[in-house]
Structure 1
């Protein structure tokens, strides 16, 4: 059972006051718990729109909410909600791109309807949204709503940690959302969560804080060196920096199993662009190749049929296990917990709340799990992992990798690394926020009792 702590309750109070709020905190401090509770209290309110900055994050959030509440909650990327697509080119003015958007007929009408009908907008994984994109979303909201207040008067709750993964950059210079004009004008009230719930080991939490700040002491380095695995278990999940590394290791391990290969191909139908979007953003492969004995990861929150909708999970997204067999209808997987799970095809819909035809993707919710990229592991909680951060060159990438693991005994290092990459701008921004938050949360009055969630997955 999970009880919201003092910081989380204070954050809820700020949100309930109607302010624009930046909900932040280190990995494992419960940002998702606050987000879930905020959404739970507003179930059925169509004026609440829940978005994420990436398709993977949006689908994971939707899946999690459906498992908790037993009903579909509309989620999408911030790009789809705002109708901006890829947004204006660097040399293109906001006005020119907005004019092009306004000529898109039915699509434009849908965009205007969504924006005008929104009172509260949640943007998850805000650290990965470029500042110029946030500025343009603010511009579009003002124009569509005919309101010159920030975001056209919509309350915005931005969730994330700028010391984790950054916006995509080809130059090494990052366009952080907190440096944008829209961020400053929105006057975000920062709510910083400080209690780490994912890891209970104080020594490990201290080490993770070093990585988050980019300063690893000699003692911290010695602690990590003690976790270097000379002969790691071959079935240990490896967190790697690049897709090519992941595909190579998974393929090699699968070929080492001298048993017949099982090929499971996804089914999909509906509008071509919607099906393509699902295929691109789901971590579940279109063509799944497994064998008896293969290591796999569950790629969706699977409700427990014996409990009922919203009542509990048979398995959570990120759970690990080993394939026992396939009978033509179900894949039997022995989870690392010892439980045997009979996995059936899972259906993902582009928009499960739509009254019209929507694209879908149906596949067994599994993927090979001898290796995964650090990017696609974000949001997961792992009992054990072998981390290889020697090629980590993005700010926060090494920190995200290490913080996936629950405790030091489950952390194994491929080798020692040469440095930790952190954005100086992001570090200073968060230091100011945490200094301003201080102990003032104790004085915030709230009539809300501590709320207890029923799921223990990734809080």
Structure 2
């Protein structure tokens, strides 16, 4: 048992508030969470939550929104507090909670973080103690996807004049974070990429927003390659926006030869009217399938323990049933092409006291020719195809998209804009402060990585050459054979490339010629 495992046990035994972090944090490596659940299994008042429904399902908990009773967190503090007080089971859960575990803390907006603190103080009648004296254990990675933008004013109430408005949407960037005095434990071993150390090193560079020479070498290797189907499964296209994924999936569905559609509507239950089930469970309200559709499994199947959430497959047939609608027969690539009839499953939303407050029954599948970067966070894909361009508008999105596969041989890059590889400066500064690196280690990493020079930092002479390169590419109809070093110091590429844009203030953007 290493020192980090010992730290997990120390947290459980001493009741210390703690932050577990690291880029190896994904659904196959929740070591800290498993240890905490084991250490705290005999302790009363332990509540396991996550910020998203997908993460909550994986860890066997509930969302922080369902536990806290705040709903979406919309409205004034007084309105939200009255809503919480009107539900005796929620008040009871808050008062009985001694240890609160929150997974995927990186995507929790600061206003929700402060709102939870205010609710806990008020409900538990401990106005001067952060989170009302609850032991807080946070897990996640602030260098992946950032929190969604939200109002920073809804959490404020008239009696909380000691808090100033946060400067950003990160929950670590507020005075409350300092008051918590969290003990930090970092997990640096990358279990997903342990079979490919070079790929793991490149992913760590990208995670910190560093576009290094080894990253450039990785990009040149993956740019425009072709990967063969595996048991009919094609590389999953990872996109930034939900609309893009939906449009791509529907387009591919319409191109299939089979003329028969099968539609599956969910069966929903909610104890209160207007309950937002879509936020709590990953099952779709309406699913449309055809033979040949590429799908992802959204939940474990009782009759197929070899399968798990996130496995990809292709619908090969529909199995007629004596009673009810025909079930999709799916060939899953992760099981060597095994065909499984996917039954309906029920996902329950539980209150802290174990009561079912909502439920959805549905076929646990989703079209998966394309998935959003938010959907694949925490997943490991057999193959992925990524188009890294300005559609990846948030810091950390490029890292999440590129790091979903285990090896570089499983990654296809169809377009690459180096300016998209970036990390939030506040998050990087937070890590440098929280987890300072050994100077020798930092120097070694910089030497091996060899950070490239930004085009924006070039002198006027190099900018002039960049503009000349652009004019020549335009005269050639947008095509250019890059057989020499580019002006930003990149390696040679003996590839015919489409010159998408060459701007003197940005790096070159390349796309392979079909």
8 A Cα contact 1:31 1:193, kept in partner: no
Cross-structure match for 1:85: 71
SS in 1 for 2:238: strand
Instruction: Give me the TM-score of the superposition, normalised by structure 2.
Output: 0.73
Shift of the 16–303 alpha-carbon distance from structure 1 to 2, 3 Å rule, reads: farther
**Deviation string for 1:360-415 (max 9, x for gaps)?**
21111111111100001111111211122312111111111112111111111121
How far apart are 1:219 and its partner, in Å?
Answer: 3.1
Which one has a bigger Cα radius of gyration?
2
Cα distance in 2 between the residues matched to 1:159 and 1:392: 25
Are 2:432 and 1:428 aligned?
no
Counterpart residue number, 1:242 = 241
Secondary structure at 1:197 match in 2: coil
Contact 1:124 1:158 in 2 (8 A): yes
Is 1:124 aligned to 2:103, yes or no? yes
Contact 1:241–1:374 (CA<8 Å) still a contact in 2?
yes
Structure 1 residue 285: deviation in Å?
2.3
Which residue pairs with 1:398 in the alignment?
Answer: 398
Residue matched to 1:219: 214
Task: From 140, 144, 164, give the equivalent of 1:160.
Answer: 140
Q: TM-score, normalised by structure 1?
A: 0.81
8 Å CA contact 2:382–2:405 kept in 1: the answer is yes
Q: Equivalent residue for 2:347? A: 348
Could you tell me whether the CA contact under 8 Å between 2:21 and 2:139 is conserved in 1? yes
CA contact (8 A) 1:300 1:365 kept: yes
State the 1:36 CA deviation: 2.6
Residues 281 and 7 of structure 1: is their aligned pair in 2 closer, same or farther, counting only changes over 3 Å? Answer: same
Q: Does 1:255 align with 2:254?
A: yes
Question: Is the 2:343–2:363 contact (alpha carbons within 8 Å) kept by the matching residues of 1?
Answer: yes
CA contact (8 A) 2:280 2:349 kept: no
Match of 2:452 in 1: none
CA distance in 2, matches of 1:129, 1:162: 10
Render the CA deviation track for 1:156-208: whole Å, top value 9, x for unaligned: 0011111111111279x841111122211110000000111111211001100
* Residues 45 and 343 (structure 1), Cα distance of their counterparts in 2 relative to 1, 3 Å cut: farther
- 2:33 corresponds in structure 1 to 35
Q: Distance in 2 between matches of 1:107 and 1:31?
A: 39
Matching residue of 2:411: 411
CA distance 1:144–1:208, change in 2 (3 Å): same
Q: Would you say the 8 A contact 2:331–2:338 is kept in 1?
A: yes
Q: Distance in 2 between matches of 1:38 and 1:9?
A: 11
Equivalent runs, 1:12-411 vs 2, <5 Å: 12-28=9-25, 32-43=30-41, 47-62=45-60, 75-87=61-73, 97-98=77-78, 100-104=79-83, 107-147=86-126, 148-169=128-149, 174-200=168-194, 201-229=196-224, 235-271=234-270, 277-304=276-303, 313-329=305-321, 330-336=327-333, 337-351=336-350, 358-390=357-389, 391-411=391-411
Using CA pairs below 8 Å that are at least 6 residues apart, which structure has the higher relative contact order?
A: 1
Residues 24 and 31 of structure 1 are in contact (CA less than 8 Å); yes or no, is this contact kept in structure 2?
no
Q: 1:83: Cα distance to partner?
A: 2.5
Structure 1 residues 46 and 13: alpha-carbon distance in aligned structure 2, compared to 1, 3 A threshold:
closer
Count residues with an aligned counterpart. Answer: 409
> Aligned in 2, Cα 1:141/1:218: closer, same or farther, shift over 3 Å?
same
Task: State the partner residue of 1:453.
Answer: none
Q: 1:269 to 1:241 in 2, by over 3 A?
A: closer
**Runs of at least 5 residues in structure 1 that lack an aligned partner in the other structure:** 63-74, 306-312, 439-459
Q: Aligned pair in 2 of structure 1 residues 437, 151: CA closer, same or farther (>3 Å)?
A: farther
- Looking at structure 2, the residues matched to 378 and 283 of structure 1 have their Cα atoms a distance apart, in angstroms, of 13
Deviations 1:238-263 (A, max 9, x none): 11111121112111211121113332
- Unpaired segments ≥5 residues, structure 2: 152-166, 322-326, 440-514
- Give the alignment of 1:4-19 within 5 angstroms: 5-19=2-16
Aligned-residue CA RMSD in angstroms? 2.8
